[in-house]
Amino acid sequence: MNYIEVFLDAFLDVFLDMSLYMLIGMVLTGVLSVVMKKQMVAKHLGKNARVPAVKAAAFGVPLPLCSCGVLPTTVYLSQNGASTSAVMSFLISTPQTGVDSIIATFGMMGVVFAVYRPVVAFISGVVGGSLIQKIAGNKRIEDSQEALDAECEEFGNCCDENSCEIGQGANAAVEPKLSLSEKLKKMFNYAFVEFVDDIALHFVVGVIIAALITIIIPTGFFESLNISSGILAMLVMLVIGLPMYICSTSSIPIALVLMAKGISPGAAFVFLFAGPATNAASLAVLAKSLGKKTVAVYLAITAVSAIGFGLLLDGLIGWFSLPMPDILSDTMAHGTNWLQIVTGVIFGGVLIRSLVMRVVRKIRAKRDKAKENVMELSIEGMSCEHCAKRVTQALENIGGVVSVSVDVKEGKAYVQGEDIDMAAMKQAVEDAGYDVK
C-alpha cells in the first residue's frame, strides 16, 4: 500500500468515525443557540454578579466557540460591565470544549477524556479567571463600564446601580419572541450553516494533519527521542498548541493519532487544552482590548494549567488503570457500517457546502472591490468566518449600506452604498469586537 492510499484510508476512517458524533453535537449546538443567548449570559455575568468566575465557566464549557469565535462575546461581556474574573474565566473555559466536542471526544477518545476535558475547562476557568483579576487588576473592565454608563446617560436610559445592567445599553437589541417554527428554523440554520461555517475548514485541516501524522511519523518515534511522556513531551505539545489556530473538535483526531504514535494521554491532553485555548491572532486582539499584562498572565496560567492537568491525567491513568481509547498505531483502519456511511455522506455534504460558499464569498469580495461607490475598511482581529459574519451584520445595519463583502485573509471589508458615515461604520465594527485601522 503506497503513501497516498494510507493517507486516504486514514483520512476516511477518522472522518467517518467522527461524522455521527459531529452531527449529534451540531444538533445540540443549535438547541443552545436558541436557549443560551448572549444577552442572557451577559446578564448573569454583570457587575453585580456573585461568584462571576464560577458562572462564567459554567456558561462557557458547553458553548461551541473556538478561541477566535469567543472573542466578540468576550469583548461584549467586558464592555457591558463583567469583571475581569468573569471575562477571563469565560475566555479560558469556552474554547477548550463545547457540547459538540464533548460528544465527539466521547465517541473517539472514550469516557475518560470526555469527562476530563469539560471538568478541567471548568476548573481552569474558575481558578484562572480569579488569579488574573488578582494579579492584573480590573482597570480595563472598569473603563468599559464607565463607557457603558456614559452611553446609557446619552440615550436617556436609567443608570442607577441596578438598572443599567448587561444588555440594557443602546447597542443591546431585545429579541422578539419566536414561534416554534421560527425557533426550529433558527436552530437548523445555526447548527448546519453558521456553526459549520466556523469549523469546516479547521475540521478538515485537523483530519488532514491527523492523516499526515499517520504516514509521516513512524510508530515509536516519540519514544526514540524520549519525549513520549513527562514534562518535556508536554512542553513540546505546548509549543505546538499555543500559537496554533484549531478548534476543540478538530484537535481530537490530531491528539488521537499522536497517542497512536506513542505520545502519552497526558501529553496529548496538553495539545487538546492549549491548541483550542489560544491562537496568535486572538492574542493580538486581546492585548489591545484587555492589556498586555492581562494577556501575559493569561498565557502563563494557560501553560501551567495545561501541563499540570496533563501530568495529573497520566497519574490518574496509572493509579486507577483508567480505560483509554483502542488505538490502532498504524493506519487506524477498520471496517465501516451503514450508519457511518450515511452520517459521513450527510456531514460531508454540509462541509462541502460550507467550503464552496467560503470560496464564493471570497470571489464576491474581490468583485465588489472593483465596484463604484465602494468604501474599503481595514479591520484587525478577524480570523474566521464567525468574524466575517459579525462584521457583515454590523455594517449592514448602517443606513445607506447596500451590500457588504468581507475578506478575512486580507482583513478587508468592502461596503457599497451612498452617503455612508465612515465614523458610524468604524463604531459598528468596534462594537462588534474588532479594530479598524
pLDDT band at 325 (very low <50, low <70, confident <90, very high): confident
Q: At how many degrees (to 10) do helices 385-396 and 70-79 cross?
A: 50
Q: pLDDT for 122-155, tens place per residue?
A: 999 999 999 988 887 764 444 444 433 443 343 3
What integer is the mean pLDDT of 384-408?
A: 85
- Report pLDDT for 165: 32
**pTM of the shown model:** 0.82
- Report pLDDT for 170: 33
Q: Where is 236: in which H helix or E strand?
A: helix 230-241
pLDDT band at 266 (very low <50, low <70, confident <90, very high): very high
What integer is the mean pLDDT of 211-234?
A: 90
- The percent of residues in the chain predicted with pLDDT above 90, rounded, is 39
What is each CA distance from 73 to 80, 114, 125, 385, 433, in whole angstroms? 10, 25, 16, 15, 8
Structure letter (DSSP) for residue 192: I
One-character DSSP codes across 333-390:
-----HHHHHHHHHHHHHHHHHHHHHHHHHHHHHHHHTSTTEEEEEEES--SHHHHHH
Helix (H, G, I), strand (E, B) or coil at 406: strand
Residue 162 pLDDT greater than 60, yes or no: no
What integer is the mean pLDDT of 170-174?
A: 42
> Of the ranges 57-66, 145-154, 374-383, which one carries the lowest mean pLDDT score?
145-154
- Report pLDDT for 238: 93
Q: Which one-letter amino acid corresponds to residue 257?
A: V
Residue 51 pLDDT greater than 50, yes or no: yes
Domains of the chain: 3-343 (no CATH), 370-436 (3.30.70.100)
Residue 283 pLDDT greater than 80, yes or no: no
Residue 334 pLDDT greater than 80, yes or no: no
φ and ψ at residue 50, rounded to 5 degrees? -90, 150
- Report pLDDT for 176: 66
Residue 204 pLDDT greater than 60, yes or no: yes
Burial group, residue 358, by CB count within 10 angstroms (0-12, 13-18, 19+): middle
Residue 205 pLDDT greater than 50, yes or no: yes
Residue 403 pLDDT greater than 80, yes or no: yes
- Report pLDDT for 22: 94
> Of the ranges 156-160, 245-249, 361-365, which one carries the lowest mean pLDDT score?
156-160
Residue with cell 466575517: 388
What integer is the mean pLDDT of 232-239?
A: 94
- Report pLDDT for 47: 65
